[in-house]
Chain A
Amino acid sequence: MCVALLTIKNLSAWYNDEKMILSNFSMELAEHEVVGLIGLNGAGKTTFLKVLSGLHPVFHADRICFCGSTVNFRKQDFKLCRYTVFAEDNSFSYFTFREYLSYVCSAYRKEVPNLTELIQGFHFETYTDTLLKDLSTGNRKKVFLITAFALKPKLLFLDEPINGLDFQSTEYLYQQILGYKEYGTILFSSHILESITLTSDRVFVLEHGKIQQTFEHGQISAADIREALHDENDR
């Protein structure tokens, strides 16, 4: 049992030498918490989640620890403990949802769990045996969200999970995020203030590749976050 699940010290990431996307980015994720990541477009949210997912190779950090031990985001041990739902994902288009889930479960060395509740919650009953390529943007998003909540990894990264979801599914997603603390930690990025204020224990306001402000528990209010974002826009 460890308190700090993931520690990152002075992370810098870039696409080319001219512009740093993340610079001296430090943060800590505790076990069983929900952390929201908010920031203006281009602040570095997606790049940060891609670094964590092992997809962005050009980065440097002074220290990256997972459960107290140094970790490589591309190593199998870490991969088995995390899952990411990307903002846009058209992968495995020729699988159906059930096939995709079965494939991912075997990659994570897990049995396919009973999904009746999740499928009903996301109103996905009609599409479980349809090829992913034939699904709408919102339904495709549901495929990856259901998979994520079914896998129950220690760390769950969600990049703009609300985008494309209908009202009922969004409400259900909030419930799932809140209930996830029982199994692990969620770090998610969003532009929807409501999603952050309703679910997060902590909120990081990202600006120019750094965390400029952190709001915790009682401090999390839409007005304060809005003000922080306005300040960011003015700077």
Chain B
Amino acid sequence: MKMTGKAFAKKLFGAKYERLSRMLLIDLIVFWGLYIAGWSVQIAPSVRILMISAFTAGVMWQALSSKDTAVEMQHMLMLPSLHQEFVFSYVAILGVYTIFTKTATLLAILLAVSIWKPIEILGLLVCAIHAVLMAAAVYSLKKFWCASSLWAASIIMAIVLLGNKTWLILVLVMNGIFAVQILRKADGYDFYRQESEKSYIVKRQRRGSLWWYFFRYLGFHKNYLINTFVMWCIALILPYFLGEIGSLSMVPVGFAVLSLNTPVCILLSCDRDLEQAVRFLPGQVQMFCIPYVLFLFLCNMTADVIFLCSLQIQNSSVTVSMIFAAVFFALQSAVLSVLLEWFYPIRAWKIESDLWHHPRKYIVPVTMLLLAGVVIAWPALLPVLMILLAIEVVVLFFILWKIQ
């Protein structure tokens, strides 16, 4: 079963496992950079454990659900091999991938900005390994979703309630051993993502409207839909937190945060065939990019409108300049996202999870946060920024028309 591990490892880490060393080097740089910057945040051990566990389990679940490993998986399961050994190799490689390429970055940030004892690193590593095993075991028990959900919920409760107790690690180790026992009984096919049943839904729409395309895309990707719904929930409660801070001048930060709905901003990156098609067909700058900008603007603006309505209900303090700021942030974020997708789509990804955590996705939200900082510091600059945005749109139209 050495070959199973090798096949998946080479896919995830590159032919010479070069991605592994590259990621560890990046983590080291991130840790060192933040450490010498001297930022310090007080984080309770239970919060650290919960963060590491939830993040690792989430990424592991994404990796297990990824359809990008389906071809290798299909081939492996076709071969006459011991399924149990297959399960361990598969889970081990995905676990190493999750911990070394994703959790390690979070760990580096947490360790750089908080005060910790060396023994705590060991504890956090145990948490990460436990989360990997737990996610894999629960995934293999998908058929018994009720029992596995209860099991997962009880572990989360244990971490929340017993997070400060040292012996929680013992509980996690015991639970990890239990997860291993479940994996020992698991079959390779439990991890095989079968092609979903073809729905053959008949759509009587005759015109090829991209709006329909985008809404269907959102509808069929439940995780993207949930992400959008979560953003709307955040929009609803954000005014409460701003009220707590006691400053309504922070409203632009709210608009910037609400432009963080990154999954809908990677349409071309995550669909290579669609990218090929829009580059191959004529007139796509107008036909594809403009509706895409408007779609993203609509997504951002919906969240902003919910935010403003909630603000109005809680504080009765919405002003015209806030509405203009909302339009500015929603449109600027949409334009930048589409520009990045068109000129710099993310190509070096192995499985969908890489795409979800790619740093490029966060360029636009970070830019928006910086712009929010500028607007908070100099509110008079908002009209200037809006004029600049208008000029930017006109110039882009001109450039895109020229390069067609």
Smallest CB–CB gap between B311 and chain A, Å? 35
Question: Which segment, of A7-15, A98-106, A200-208, faces chain B?
Answer: A98-106
Known: A86-B276, A91-B274, A107-B287. A101 touches B282 (CB 8 A): no
Flag whether B343 is at the interface (Cβ < 8 A). Answer: no
A134 at the interface (CB under 8 A from B): yes
Q: How many residues of A contact B (CB 8 A)?
A: 34
For B205, give the chain A residue with the smallest CB separation: A99
- CB-defined contacts of A89 to chain B, threshold 8 Å: 273, 276-277
Instruction: List CB contacts (< 8 Å) of A64-111 with chain B.
Output: 75-76, 79-80, 84, 86, 88-96, 98-104, 106-109
Q: How far is the CB of B354 from chain A (nearest CB, A)?
A: 19
- Stretch from B158-166, B207-215, B374-382 contacting the other chain: B207-215
Say whether B202 faces chain A, with CB atoms less than 8 Å apart: yes
Query: Are B284 and A98 neighbours in the complex by a CB distance under 8 Å?
Result: no
CB-CB under 8 A from B212, the residues of chain A are 94-95, 99
**A55 at interface by CB-CB < 8 Å:** yes
Whether A54 is near chain B, meaning CB under 8 Å from some CB there, is yes
Query: For the complex, what is the distance from the CA of A194 to the CA of B220, rounded to whole Å?
Result: 41
B217 contacts A92, C-beta separation under 8 Å: no
B283 in the interface, Cβ–Cβ < 8 Å? Answer: yes
A53 at the binding interface (Cβ < 8 Å): yes
- CB of A130 closer than 8 Å to a CB of B: yes
**Chain A positions within 8 Å of B287 at CB level:** 103, 106-107
* B280 engages A53 (CB within 8 Å): yes
Tell me which of A94, A99, A100, A134 has the highest count of chain B C-beta atoms within 10 A of its own C-beta. A94
Contact of B220 with A79 in the complex, beta carbons under 8 Å: no
Residues from chain B with Cβ under 8 Å of A53 in the complex:
280
Residue of A nearest to B287 (CB): A107
Q: Which of B136-144, B193-201, B236-244, B312-320 contacts A (4 or more CB under 8 A)?
A: B193-201
Closest to B218 in A: A94
Within 8 A of A (CB), among B291-314: none
Known contacts A76-B283, A90-B273, A107-B283: does B208 contact A95 (CB below 8 Å)? Answer: yes
Cα–Cα distance between A116 and B203 once the two chains are bound (Å): 19
CB distance from B290 to the nearest CB of A (A): 13
**Is A224 an interface residue, CB under 8 A from the partner?**
no
24 contacts between A and B (CB under 8 A): A75-B404, A79-B281, A79-B282, A86-B276, A89-B273, A89-B277, A90-B271, A92-B213, A93-B273, A93-B274, A96-B205, A103-B208, A103-B287, A106-B208, A106-B287, A107-B282, A108-B282, A109-B283, A129-B203, A129-B204, A130-B201, A131-B203, A131-B216, A133-B220
Interface residues of A (CB under 8 A from B): 53-55, 75-76, 79-80, 84, 86, 88-96, 98-104, 106-109, 129-131, 133-134
